[in-house]
Amino acid sequence: MGVPSFITLVLVVVIMFHSFFVEPTCSSSSPSPSPSSYYPPPYKAVRAAYWPGGSDFSPSSINTNYFSHIYYAFLLPQPDSYNLDVTQSDQTQIPIFINGLRSLNPPVNTLLSIGGGGSNSSVFSAMASTATTRAAFINSTIQVARQYGFDGLDLDWEFPNTVQDMSNLALLFKEWYQALVSDAKLRRKPRLLLTAAVYYANRIVFLGNEPRSYPAEAIRNYLDWASPMCFDYHGAWDNFTGVNAALYDPKSNISTHYGLGSWIQAGVPPSKLVMGLALYGRTWKLDDPSVHGLGAPAHGAATDTDGTMDYDEILKFNTQNGATVVYDGLSVSFYSYAGTTWITYDDVWSIRMKAHFARSLALRGYFFWAVDKDKDWALSRQASSTWGHGRY
């Protein structure tokens, strides 16, 4: 990272001070969640993260001082039977995941997540379409979770494509919850948790076949919590630079402020919402390195993978390339640039303010994607510290 001038430092401090205490003006159509003076007790907080199956980062290396729940990501339903496909790799990795986390102190709850961004949405649509196929899926998830010793189940269906999909999702949540209650009684064990990763906003407008809204009543009644994915707002699919996880966007509804407000307005109580945070950034190649602000013309990703960079990789890039680092007070985010490479990401300061925002709304907590992207725990530690100490 390049050394900023004294004037730059002063300007950054002023902007940071302003953004922390003054809420930017958002579009008039935005549902506006009102920060509460009530903070939920720390012991109720969810401090979660996903661990990608097969990651080189060992589950036993996770610092559980900063987490309450860790998800194993992911298993997929088979497209014919809708039973979970537990591959040979999963059969090896899941015991390592469970046993590695059980050996740690303090302990954490473990959840099995099903789906993910690379899954086939049409398989979930077909599974949810009839009572018979839903039952096959539900029974398989419970069997696998109990077999391996998970504490809960998580659905990451990205994304229901139609209004009918959303109606079927409501039925799935209801029947899944009822099956979990019956299973707990039969086994005389605590009920498995049931959660879902969902779109950042209650209503999906930009993706899929038609505008459709999540079943808020079913989420309220049957899930322990829903986890809005408050990231991936912009990326290399755009031909301009943008913010990966904007807290505010005065020019559009693509922001965490808008998204969480829409969930609360739809009837999902804050105590059943867990806000998503990103431990990675997104990259672009600038068309012209001399034009490097937000909205600058760009083409494609600056990395040879999926256009993302882990937080520790971003810090390394900034240092090695003498990158210019900019804090954007309107979106509460950072970006950096060097040559034609442009990166949007969260740093310790913006994570602090986003965690503060979530807590001020009396949300249930937050989750990170993904735990292996925060090697020295800087962001995880900051979020946990901001929320307050205590366990779920």
* 36 and 76 Cβ atoms separated by less than 8 Å: no
The tokens of 320 are what?
Answer: 């090695």
Residue 302 β-bridge partners? none
Phi, psi of 222 (to 5 degrees): -120, -20
Catalytic residue among 158, 175, 217, 313: 158
Tracing tokens 């989750």 back to the chain, one arrives at 367
CATH code for the part of the protein at 37-278+347-387: 3.20.20.80
Residue 96 near residue 134 (C-beta atoms within 8 A): no
DSSP 281-345: EEEEEBSSTT--STT-BB-S-SSSSSSEEEHHHHHHHHHHHT-EEEEETTTTEEEEEETTEEEEE
pLDDT of residue 261: 98
In 3D, which of 347, 351, 330, 353 has the Cα closest to residue 35?
Answer: 353
DSSP state of 188: T
- Rounded to whole angstroms, the Cα distance separating 256 from 112 reads 25
Cβ 255 vs Cβ 305: under 8 Å: no
Which pLDDT value is given to residue 207? 79
Distance CA 298, CA 62 (A): 36
In the annotation, is 158 catalytic?
Answer: yes
Q: What's the residue count for the chain?
A: 392
Provide the pLDDT for residue 288.
98
272 Cβ neighbours under 8 A, 6+ residues apart: 219, 220, 223, 224, 225, 226, 364
Helix (H, G, I), strand (E, B) or coil at 52: strand
Q: Which residues pair with 334 in a beta bridge?
A: 327, 345
Evaluate whether 341 touches 302 at the Cβ level (below 8 Å): yes
Domain segments of the chain as ranges: 37-278+347-387
Residues 86-101: pLDDT tens digits?
Answer: 999 999 999 999 999 9
CA distance 279 to 380: 9
DSSP-derived secondary structure for 141-173 = HHHHHHHHT-SEEEEE-S---SHHHHHHHHHHH
- Output the pLDDT for position 31: 62
Question: pLDDT below 70 — which residues of the chain?
Answer: 1-43, 389-392
**Residues 358 and 252: beta-carbon distance below 8 Å:** no
Looking at the DSSP bridge assignments, the partners of residue 275 are: 366
CA 184, CA 57: separation in Å to the nearest integer?
Answer: 33
Judge if the upstream peptide bond of residue 370 is cis by omega within 30 degrees of 0: yes
